[in-house]
Amino acid sequence: MKIYLDGQFCSEADAKISVFDHGLLYGDGVFEGIRMYHNRVFKLREHIERLYWSAKAILLDIPMTQEEMIAATVETCRQNNLRDGYIRLVVTRGKGTLGLDPRKCPKASIIIIATTIQLYPEKTYAEGLTIVTVPTTRNIVNAVNPAIKSLNYLNNVLARIEANNAGVEEAILLNSDGFVAECTADNVFIVQKGKLYTPPLSSGALYGITRNTVLDVARELGIPSGEPSLSRYDLYIADEMFLTGTAAEMIPVVKVDGRVIGTGKPGPITAKLLAGFQARTRTDGEIIFA
């Protein structure tokens, strides 16, 4: 495996950062997870735009233009001879001192990894997930804003631990007002009486690239959608439910907190949206090998 590290490609064994890097010491940095499908890096420009938004929010200067970052990402796929897979793009604050002050870090560090991923067991995509709501509350927007894809993912990790302890593959986090925010790694969607709903970004939900793609597909298919605040009650009485995320793609949910969703099987609107999403992956994105 070839890793892009600060302008050079190196082996996994040689891909090293300083123990004084503030990404390691404090989670000070940002990242993106990106998918490759059918020889294309899906929604790459949208992901890079979001990366630079996250960096701007924490006053992190990325020492590359967006076009240079796009080129480096595609080249990392080529170096690893990958046409389908997963990319993790990380920008750390860089090497500094043991103090918090980011001004002590003169230059950010850029890491691009291209490999494969399987977030959930294969059978769950056909049969659906069983998930639970956990006590861990989603970060509030005036603390660590969930819109920033920062390297500090401990809020999500704590919720994932609770999911593990409950014996399920995923967990729902509520915001401080008790409304549904998102899952540990995915956005949440429900279908009720033919309409599609997902929590608003103000709830603590991530500005998801896959989320936006599904909403676009719904508009194309004439499926009405909305972004109201959702409580657990709304999930329990939904006809269908599914999650979206770059690594997860689209995955149905059939049980929440012991309540069966709809018929207990993935629903027809979920299937239509999935087909539309998969069609997009064949035509949208930067070509890897010409």
The reported pLDDT for the residue numbered 203 is 95
Just list the catalytic residues.
149
Q: Read off the amino acid at residue 121.
A: P
**33: phi then psi, degrees, rounded to nearest 5:** -105, 130
Residue among 138, 102, 139 at smallest CA distance from 28 = 102
Q: Read off the amino acid at residue 198.
A: T
Residue among 158, 152, 203 at smallest CA distance from 184 = 158
- Maximum Cα–Cα distance across the chain: 56
Same fold, 2-115 and 122-281: no
Cβ 147 vs Cβ 175: under 8 Å? no
The reported pLDDT for the residue numbered 118 is 83
Residue 65 region by backbone torsions, left for phi larger than 0, else alpha for psi between -120 and 50, else beta: beta
Could you give the angle at the alpha carbon of 172 between the alpha carbons of 168 and 177, nearest 5°?
155
Domain boundaries, the chain: 2-115, 122-281
Distance, CA of 282 to CA of 194 (rounded, Å)? 27
Tens digit of pLDDT for each residue in 235-280? 999 999 999 999 999 999 999 999 999 999 999 999 999 999 999 9
Average pLDDT over residues 75-93: 98
Tens digit of pLDDT for each residue in 90-137? 999 999 999 999 999 999 999 999 999 888 888 999 999 999 999 999
Q: The domain 2-115 is classified under which CATH number: 3.90.600.10, 2.60.40.10, 3.30.470.10, 3.40.47.10?
A: 3.30.470.10
Average pLDDT over residues 141-165: 96
Distance, CA of 186 to CA of 246 (rounded, Å)? 8
DSSP letter, residue 178: S
The reported pLDDT for the residue numbered 241 is 98
pLDDT reading at 178 higher than 90 = yes
- Residue ranges in 58-111 assigned as alpha helix (H): 66-79
Average pLDDT over residues 35-46: 98
DSSP letter, residue 150: B
Tens digit of pLDDT for each residue in 194-214? 999 999 999 999 999 999 999
Q: What is the CATH number of domain 122-281?
A: 3.20.10.10
pTM of the model: 0.95
Size of the chain in residues: 290
Tokens standing for residue 255 = 């049980």
Residue among 146, 179, 184 at smallest CA distance from 164 = 184
Element (H, E) at 244: strand 240-245
Q: Read off the amino acid at residue 5.
A: L
Distance, CA of 166 to CA of 157 (rounded, Å)? 14
